[in-house]
Chain A
Amino acid sequence: MKSIADIKAIREKMQAQIMNRDNVSDAAETRVVVGMATCGIAAGARPVFNELVDQVQKRGLENVKVTRAGCLGMCKLEPIVEVFVPGQEKVTYVKVDAQKAKDIIEKHIVGGNICTDYLVGEE
């Protein structure tokens, strides 16, 4: 069974990666934000958050942060995911599920193409 002591190996690998990277500033970080108020949670925000995390981990994406926010103000369109790529305008995806979460990472974050089908008005 895995234990907390197993973290050591992962930590050492990550610390080595951080050392190898040229000081990437916070400004260069892409943020993916999931609405996690009652409206978001009831609509399926938890599996969306976890799928985003899994995808970022699987692809070894550096400088991509998956975080949570409260109610984003459009409860009927939850789960909502906001993407902040440095130097670009915020993109808001609505009615996101695990499959769409995977597409957002693959096509938008990695590929650089906004998933226009998942924007407000297209859902």
Chain B
Amino acid sequence: MRELSLHILDIVENSVKANATLIQVDIEVKNGYLYITVVDNGKGMSEEFLAKVVDPFTTTRTTRKVGLGIPLIKQAAEVAEGEFSITSKLGEGTTVKTSYKLDSIDRVPLGDVPETITTLLYPNIEFVWRYAVNGEEFIFDTREVKEELQGVPIDSPEILVFLKSLLKENIDSINGGIII
């Protein structure tokens, strides 16, 4: 993938598919590393399934025999001198944690986070996105947005376009001109 935020999109789609109702995504830059964590309260995986989930031939999809989302993010972290871990409990949820050395030459850029967030807004799933760079943070909580929306769907085009520009302004301000 060309951007780490595409891996985030992919990992969060796994959480959506696992019927999560709350998904927390944490993107943090500190001490020369980028940390990306996705926590969901979806259906989780059994110990046995979890043990083989990093294998590309592990999938519950019926359209094909390979599942690449997890193997690809694992590889992206490991080539960038970072780490990958996944924990999961049946009926409780799943956590995917990755880190990347910022100045590793094999690290792909973080890419378009605002567009990634707006691609992932669902009426029936709540998200808490935390974006932090060297101590400055921005939190985007869909529960607050939905309160303000008073029943207008969060994924209507008008709202998505507005939220994308809100997210871009806030994230650009946290970045303070640096490209991650």
What residues of A have a CB within 8 angstroms of the CB of B170 in the complex? 1-2
Tell me the minimal C-beta distance from A65 to chain B in angstroms.
8
What residues of A have a CB within 8 angstroms of the CB of B64 in the complex? 39, 71, 73, 75
A30 at the A/B interface (Cβ < 8 Å)? no
What residues of B have a CB within 8 angstroms of the CB of A71 in the complex? 61, 63-64
Chain B residues close to A by CB (< 8 Å): 1, 6, 9-10, 13, 17, 61, 63-64, 67-69, 72, 112, 115-116, 118-119, 144-145, 148-150, 152, 155-162, 164-166, 169-170, 173
A25 at the A/B interface (Cβ < 8 Å)? no
What residues of A have a CB within 8 angstroms of the CB of B67 in the complex? 38
On whether the beta carbons of B156 and A14 are closer than 8 Å, the reply is yes
On whether the beta carbons of B156 and A2 are closer than 8 Å, the reply is no
On whether the beta carbons of A10 and B63 are closer than 8 Å, the reply is no
Q: Knowing A4-B144, A14-B156, A46-B115 touch, does A54 contact B161 (C-beta < 8 A)?
A: yes
Given A4-B148, A41-B1, 14 more A-B residue pairs with CB atoms under 8 Å apart are: A2-B162, A2-B165, A4-B145, A11-B152, A14-B152, A15-B150, A41-B10, A41-B13, A46-B119, A50-B119, A54-B161, A64-B157, A66-B157, A68-B13
Q: Which 10 A-B pairs have the closest CB atoms?
A: A57-B157, A2-B166, A73-B63, A7-B148, A56-B157, A71-B63, A57-B161, A38-B68, A38-B69, A53-B157
Could you say which of A11, A38, A49 contacts B72, with CB atoms under 8 Å apart? A38
Tell me the minimal C-beta distance from A121 to chain B in angstroms.
20
Our count of residue pairs bridging A and B at CB distance below 8 angstroms stands at 98
On whether the beta carbons of B150 and A68 are closer than 8 Å, the reply is no
Chain A: interface size category:
35 or more
On whether the beta carbons of B158 and A14 are closer than 8 Å, the reply is yes
Question: Can you spell out 30 A-B residue pairs with CB atoms less than 8 angstroms apart?
Answer: A1-B169, A2-B162, A4-B148, A7-B148, A8-B148, A10-B162, A11-B148, A14-B156, A14-B158, A36-B13, A38-B10, A38-B67, A38-B68, A39-B64, A41-B10, A41-B13, A42-B6, A46-B9, A46-B119, A47-B115, A53-B118, A53-B160, A57-B160, A61-B157, A66-B155, A66-B157, A67-B155, A68-B13, A70-B17, A73-B64
On whether the beta carbons of A50 and B162 are closer than 8 Å, the reply is no
A19 at the A/B interface (Cβ < 8 Å)? no
What residues of B have a CB within 8 angstroms of the CB of A75 in the complex? 64
* Chain A residue nearest in CB terms to B162: A10
Determine chain A's interface SS by DSSP, over half rule.
helix
* Chain B residue nearest in CB terms to A55: B157
A39 to B158, CA, bound (A): 28
A24 at the A/B interface (Cβ < 8 Å)? no
Tell me the minimal C-beta distance from A102 to chain B in angstroms.
14
A64 to B158, CA, bound (A): 12
What residues of A have a CB within 8 angstroms of the CB of B156 in the complex? 14
